[in-house]
């Protein structure tokens, strides 16, 4: 520098005052450290908590960045029907959301619903290459649909056999229109059809075709669900006016509007019972739900119970039906005898008196049973009568697996971690398995089996080894398999990913501000109870986008630069690709970057290891 030359002491060649000529960068202060920070993306708990196995954190982050189309495509990689799950899934993901410990969980289902609705009419990415093998799928409920979808996207020819006239399973014939509009379901099934999947409806496997005909297929996925309603097992059950819940829902879903009379009693405390109660209300009845335990033990989803209550259903807890009584028609018996005197005896055996009441007993709760719920006990001499015109039973369903090989009959089917039954090439999923009977588990089991079938067929074709690194396919140690990981084509660039779930204690919550969770817009109950239009309207687009911004983006670096900002040693720099470099020559290993990272994306590791 000319200036510094000017102040040189001529005699000694040094400045008369000491003026620094170098920077401290000559000191490699990084040698002081004994631990070093490492960018290491982990797994968000919501991803592990989603039975479908969706990269929820990933799409939330894309939405934060305004990359809406990519967010939508990220969902479609794992979930063939986000508009459906956004409406009917009980969202276990939200129960595992880290934000719950801060204020309230992210309304993941509402964001998923927005993405699902945006995806309606949009195709899913087709297979890159076709494969020669074909797969048969029995049953077109969510499990069968998911399996078909993923297999088609992997290049296989898929035929779905469905006993009913239209595909969808419980989504089509069970869940009522006011919770899942059938046009939306049809659109999402259309997307699967557009991938080239063949649907053979009105085809009951076992009756119309046999499993033996699967000779046409290289592998089969069975997902026929549970449809045999459990019986009440009490006198009077077969009287006219006693409906099986599934039959009622299916009739209404077929467009019928059965006359149920004024007073309807629904028996059961599960989701089917709630659907029946809310359907009966819409058919103009007053509804009483009988449940033998208390509200706390109800297996039905909390939101469904709330909705039924708001719409005016009454609940009689700790109540067990002991007998259905028919109309005695006593007042009419004399004229009847007079007619019989003239015209001869009627065939009285076929007489079919209509339900008039249900005789009930009061229950009390005793010790917890095997399920951990307190077991109900009947209270002596507590019988009472509830007058009614119709009874709807909703006591759960069992599977009909007669079409399957004998060794798979009786009880839930057991499958491997890749969905295969004890029969080679025969896979199963959905409600046939001993897993929670939900749409999300069904979709997840279909995807799992699609991976299993792909692996099996590739192994058979000599393209893959027998071993599958299951641990690496799962989203977190306990999550479902990820199709993206199976295909090894993750669009999210991850740094040193490890399959470890980030807990709330790994986050730095100080970097977040409180924000209220957006709640779905509900039509008023006095309005919804009179029609079959959708009752829950979801979130307006902007609110759903804002909700996505409430997400902490746990475990995966989103480039917030908090680490860079708090480094006292100016050792972190941002690269052009948006990732970060740490200058280990200068990083002293203080760990502030890791401590301040809001999402636990940096791990301190021992130096030299």
Ligand X SMILES: Cc1cc2nc3c(=O)[nH]c(=O)nc-3n(C[C@H](O)[C@H](O)[C@H](O)COP(=O)(O)OP(=O)(O)OC[C@H]3O[C@@H](n4cnc5c(N)ncnc54)[C@H](O)[C@@H]3O)c2cc1C
Give the bridge partners for 602, in sequence order: 39
249 vs 556, which CB is nearer to ligand X? 249
Question: Residue 135 binds which entry of ligand X, ligand SF4, another protein, none, with Cβ cut-offs from 5 to 8 Å by kind?
Answer: none
Give yes or no for residue 205 binding ligand X (CB under 6 A).
yes
Question: Residue 56 binds which entry of another protein, ligand X, ligand SF4, none, with Cβ cut-offs from 5 to 8 Å by kind?
Answer: ligand SF4
Going from the C-alpha of 68 to that of each of 71, 471, 541, 548, the distances in angstroms are 5, 30, 11, 11
Give yes or no for residue 510 binding another protein (CB under 8 A).
yes
Torsion of CA 507, 508, 511, 516, to 10 degrees: 50
Give yes or no for residue 196 binding another protein (CB under 8 A).
no
Give yes or no for residue 549 binding another protein (CB under 8 A).
yes
Q: What is the three-state SS of 181-241?
A: CHHHHHHHHHHHHCCCCEEECCCCECCCECHHHHHHCCEEEECCCCCEECCCCCCCCCCEC
**In angstroms, how far is CA 280 from the centroid of its own chain?**
26
Q: Is 528 left (phi over 0), alpha (psi -120 to 50) or beta?
A: alpha
Give yes or no for residue 204 binding ligand X (CB under 6 A).
yes
Query: Which of the residues 570 through 589 are near another protein (CB under 8 A)?
Result: 570-571, 583, 585-586, 588-589
Chain positions contacting ligand SF4, by CB under 6 A:
37, 39, 44-46, 56-57, 60, 97-99, 106, 108, 551-554, 557-563, 567, 569, 571-572, 582, 587-593, 597, 599, 601-602
Stretch that binds ligand X, among 160-168, 189-197, 345-353, 511-519 (CB under 6 A): 160-168
Q: Is the dihedral of CA 163, 169, 170, 172 positive or negative?
A: negative
For residues 481 and 150, the answer to whether their CB atoms sit within 8 Å is no
Radius of gyration of the chain (CA): 31
Binder to another protein among 365, 375, 425, 560 (CB under 8 A)?
560
Contacts with ligand X by CB under 6 A: the residue count is 36
Residue located via tokens 């006292």: 568
Question: Residue 585 binds which entry of ligand SF4, another protein, ligand X, none, with Cβ cut-offs from 5 to 8 Å by kind?
Answer: another protein
10 vs 212, which CB is nearer to ligand X? 212
The residue nearest ligand X at its CB is 430
Binder to ligand X among 78, 117, 164, 506 (CB under 6 A)?
164
Q: DSSP characters for 319-358? A: EEEEEEEE---GGGHHHHHHHHHHH----GGG--PBEEEE
Least Cβ distance, residue 55 to ligand SF4 (angstroms): 10
Angle, in degrees to the nearest 10, between helices 108-119 and 541-550: 130
Question: Residue 97 binds which entry of ligand X, another protein, ligand SF4, none, with Cβ cut-offs from 5 to 8 Å by kind?
Answer: ligand SF4
Give yes or no for residue 206 binding ligand X (CB under 6 A).
yes
Question: Residue 57 binds which entry of ligand SF4, another protein, ligand X, none, with Cβ cut-offs from 5 to 8 Å by kind?
Answer: ligand SF4
Binding mask 262-301 for ligand X (x = CB under 6 A): ---------xx--x--------------------------
**Residues of 130-164 as b/e, b for ≥16 C-beta within 10 angstroms?**
ebebbbbbbbbbbbbbbbbbbbbbbbbbbbbbbbb
Binder to another protein among 193, 503, 566, 605 (CB under 8 A)?
566
Residue located via tokens 């002491």: 9
Least Cβ distance, residue 152 to ligand X (angstroms): 17
Give yes or no for residue 140 binding ligand X (CB under 6 A).
yes
- Edge-to-edge order in the sheet of strand 242-244: 242-244, 390-393, 263-267, 286-290, 314-316
Give yes or no for residue 21 binding another protein (CB under 8 A).
yes
Stretch that binds another protein, among 306-314, 326-334, 531-539, 554-562 (CB under 8 A): 554-562
Closest by CA position to 562, among listed 591, 587, 593 = 593
Least Cβ distance, residue 435 to ligand X (angstroms): 9
For residues 96 and 46, the answer to whether their CB atoms sit within 8 Å is yes
Question: Residue 272 binds which entry of ligand SF4, ligand X, another protein, none, with Cβ cut-offs from 5 to 8 Å by kind?
Answer: ligand X
> At a CB cut-off of 8 Å and minimum separation 6, what does 13 contact?
none
Q: What is the three-state SS of 284-323?
A: CCEEEEECCCCHHHCCCCHHHHHHHHHCCCEEECCEEEEE
Least Cβ distance, residue 47 to another protein (angstroms): 23
| Residue 434 token pair | 């001993």
| Residue 5 token pair | 């030359």
Regarding beta strands 157-161 and 198-200, do their DSSP bridges make them parallel or antiparallel, or are they unpaired?
parallel
Least Cβ distance, residue 231 to ligand X (angstroms): 16
Query: Which of the residues 408 through 467 are near ligand X (CB under 6 A)?
Result: 430-431, 437-440, 442
Least Cβ distance, residue 232 to ligand X (angstroms): 17
| Residue 292 token pair | 């033998």
8 vs 125, which CB is nearer to another protein? 8
- Residue numbers of the site for another protein (CB under 8 A)? 18-29, 32-33, 510-515, 549, 559-562, 564-571, 583, 585-586, 588-592, 594-596, 604
Q: Which residues bind ligand X (CB under 6 A)?
A: 88-90, 138-144, 161-164, 169-170, 174-175, 204-206, 223-225, 249, 271-272, 275, 403, 430-431, 437-440, 442
């Amino acid at each position: 520098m000319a200036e510094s030359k000017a102040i040189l002491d001529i005699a000694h060649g040094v400045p008369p005052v000491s003026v620094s000529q170098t920077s401290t960068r000559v000191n490699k202060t990084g040698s002081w450290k004994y631990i070093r920070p490492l960018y290491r993306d982990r797994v968000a708990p919501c991803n592990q908590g989603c039975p479908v196995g969706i990269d929820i954190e990933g799409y939330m982050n894309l939405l934060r960045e305004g990359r809406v189309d990519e967010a939508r495509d990220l969902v479609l990689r794992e979930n063939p029907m986000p508009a459906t799950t956004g409406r009917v899934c009980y969202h276990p993901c939200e129960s595992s959301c880290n934000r719950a410990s801060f204020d309230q969980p992210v309304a993941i289902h509402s964001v998923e619903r927005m993405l699902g609705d945006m995806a309606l009419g949009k195709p899913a990415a087709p297979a890159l290459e076709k494969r020669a093998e074909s797969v048969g799928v029995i049953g077109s409920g969510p499990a069968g649909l998911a399996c078909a979808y993923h297999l088609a996207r992997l290049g296989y020819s898929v035929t779905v056999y469905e006993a009913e006239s239209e595909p969808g399973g419980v989504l089509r014939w069970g869940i009522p229109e006011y919770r899942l509009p059938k046009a939306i379901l049809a659109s999402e099934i259309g997307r699967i059809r557009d991938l080239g999947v063949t649907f053979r409806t009105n085809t009951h496997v076992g009756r119309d075709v046999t499993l033996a005909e699967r000779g046409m297929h290289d592998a089969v996925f069975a997902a026929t669900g549970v449809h045999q309603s459990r019986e009440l097992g009490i006198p009077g059950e077969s009287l006219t006016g006693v409906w099986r819940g599934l039959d009622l829902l299916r009739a209404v879903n077929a467009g019928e509007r059965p006359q149920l009379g004024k007073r309807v009693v629904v028996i059961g405390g599960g989701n089917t019972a709630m659907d029946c109660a809310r359907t009966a209300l819409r058919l103009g009845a007053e509804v009483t739900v009988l449940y033998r335990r208390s509200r706390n033990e109800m297996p039905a989803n909390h939101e469904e119970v709330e909705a039924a209550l708001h719409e005016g259903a009454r609940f009689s807890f700790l109540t067990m039906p002991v007998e259905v009584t028919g109309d005695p028609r006593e007042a009419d018996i004399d004229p009847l005898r007079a007619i019989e005197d003239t015209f001869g005896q009627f065939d009285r055996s076929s007489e079919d008196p209509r339900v008039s009441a249900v005789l009930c007993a009061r229950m009390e709760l005793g010790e917890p049973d095997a399920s951990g719920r307190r077991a109900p006990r009947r209270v002596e001499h507590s019988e009472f009568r509830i007058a009614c015109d119709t009874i709807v039973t909703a006591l759960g369903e069992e599977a009909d697996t007669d079409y399957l090989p004998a060794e798979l009959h009786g009880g839930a089917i057991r499958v491997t971690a890749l969905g295969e039954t004890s029969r080679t090439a025969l896979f199963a999923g959905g409600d046939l398995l001993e897993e929670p009977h939900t749409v999300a588990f069904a979709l997840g089991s279909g995807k799992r089996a699609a991976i299993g079938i792909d692996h099996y067929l590739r192994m058979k074709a000599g393209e893959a080894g027998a071993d599958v690194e299951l641990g690496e396919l799962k989203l977190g140690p306990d999550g479902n398999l990820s199709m993206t990981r199976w295909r090894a084509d993750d669009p999210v660039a991850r740094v040193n990913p490890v399959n470890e779930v980030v807990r709330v204690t790994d986050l730095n919550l100080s970097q977040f501000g409180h924000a209220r969770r957006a709640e779905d817009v509900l039509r008023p109950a006095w309005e919804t109870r009179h029609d079959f239009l959708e009752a829950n309207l979801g979130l307006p687009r902007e609110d759903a986008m804002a909700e996505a911004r409430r997400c902490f983006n746990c475990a995966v670096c989103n480039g917030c630069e908090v680490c860079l900002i708090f480094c006292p040693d100016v050792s972190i720099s941002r690269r052009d690709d948006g990732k970060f470099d740490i200058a280990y020559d200068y990083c002293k290993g203080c760990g502030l970057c890791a401590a301040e990272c809001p999402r636990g994306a940096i791990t301190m590791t021992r130096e030299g290891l």
